[in-house]
Amino acid sequence: MKIAFFDTHPFEKEAFDSENADGKHEIHYFEPRLTKETATLAKGFSCVCAFANDRLDKTTLTLLKEGGTHFIALRSAGFNHMDLKAASSLGIRAARVPEYSPYAIAEHVVAMIQTLNRKTHKAYNRVREGNFSLNGLVGFDLHGKTVGIIGTGRIGKVLAKIMLGFGCKVLLYDIKRDEHFARELHCHYAGFEDILRQSDIISLHVPLTSETKHFIDEKAFSQMKRGVMMINTGRGALVDTKALINSLKTGHVGHAGLDVYEEEAGVFFEDLSGKILNDDILARLLTFPNVLVTSHQGFLTHEALSNIASTTLKNISEFEKNLPLSNEVKVG
């Protein structure tokens, strides 16, 4: 099938080329993100392959349909960036990659926790400059701390197991409780407010929906323990960033690790060094010594990339052969 591949990055191209070594699909790699301005690049392509920061709104989808696109292969788990209602009314079908490696993201959470906690990023720079002082590098033992996991799907469950290995007490929160999992791990579910009140570390693993937008707002921050560490690898808009900045300024939030950010589209994944950063909120976040921002790299492992490529191409083959779509995304 002829595929217009948007927002291409070298690390993904390698994985897709290797997965498509038999040349079954004709993949055309485009560097720009998919927006209404770039949608015309897909003219004549029945399939568009899009990533997390491509904009699949009604206008873009309409332009794609006019250009002959019938199928959107999302190479992401999240699909909050696609207007499913508009796609359905246009007769465009879509599929995603629901799971590629929950380990990749959960392990990135641990990397963020321990970077913020043990300040290895600062130690690395210091030592390379001949500064062997330990002042300002004091961290805390993870052992015995309470970790609140919000969203106990694939990623949240892997994180729970890892944190139990550190000797943490793990509290779980989800609208659909998996009591069997909790029993098996000897941890338990708690109410949302209890998690906020009791946790030393809070990690977010729910999808972005109309219910979860700004899940963590000013009120939620005020209910957290003073000095709490919050990690967000879910989606940026789960957190009200202005409320986070206020809580960081008062010291109520002790550390924040963000792999995602509300307005990341057009910034994350791009090399903007040497350019002016026009986003004042992100610029403010970057001034805090206790904030770690990574550029949506939770998924970035060889294993995850290879799984993303194989599932995406499998989704496309299913559509091409008119088979039932195992990973279809649709309204409702």
- Provide the annotated active-site residues: 235, 264, 296
- Write the interaction track for ligand NAI spanning residues 209-248; mark x where CB under 6 A is met and - where it is not: x-xx--------------------xxx-------------
Minimum CB distance to ligand NAI smaller for 39 or for 240: 240
d(CA 234, CA 205): 5
| Complete edge-to-edge strand list for the sheet that includes strand 71-74 | 26-29, 2-5, 47-50, 71-74, 93-95
Q: 3-class DSSP state for residue 283? A: helix
Q: CA neighbours within 13 Å on the CB side: how many for 2?
A: 10
* Ranges of H-type helices in the chain: 10-19, 58-66, 84-90, 102-118, 120-128, 154-165, 179-185, 192-198, 218-223, 241-249, 280-285, 302-320
Provide Rg for the chain, Cα atoms.
21
Nearest residue by C-beta to ligand NAI?
153
Nearest C-alpha neighbor of 57 from the set 267, 322, 265: 265
Binding residue for ligand NAI, selected from 128, 143, 176, 275, defined by CB under 6 A: 176
Minimal distance in Å, beta carbon 175 to ligand NAI? 4
Residues within window 247-266 making contact with ligand NAI, judged by CB under 6 A: 259-260
The one-letter amino acid at 163: M
- Write the interaction track for ligand NAI spanning residues 265-304; mark x where CB under 6 A is met and - where it is not: -------------------------------x-xx-----
- Write the interaction track for ligand NAI spanning residues 132-151; mark x where CB under 6 A is met and - where it is not: -------------------x
Which residues have a Cβ under 8 Å from the Cβ of 327 and sit 6 or more positions away?
95, 96, 97, 98, 311, 315
Q: Which stretch binds ligand NAI (CB under 6 A): 29-37, 123-131, 173-181, 262-270?
A: 173-181
207 touches ligand NAI (CB under 6 A)? yes
Q: Tell me the Ramachandran region of residue 305: left when phi exceeds 0, alpha when psi lies from -120 to 50, beta otherwise.
A: alpha
Minimal distance in Å, beta carbon 43 to ligand NAI? 30
Minimum CB distance to ligand NAI smaller for 325 or for 329: 329
* Tokens describing residue 149: 């996991």
Binding residue for ligand NAI, selected from 30, 89, 153, 181, defined by CB under 6 A: 153
312 touches ligand NAI (CB under 6 A)? no
Give residues in contact with ligand NAI (CB under 6 A): 77-78, 102, 105, 151-156, 174-176, 205-209, 211-212, 233-235, 259-260, 296, 298-299
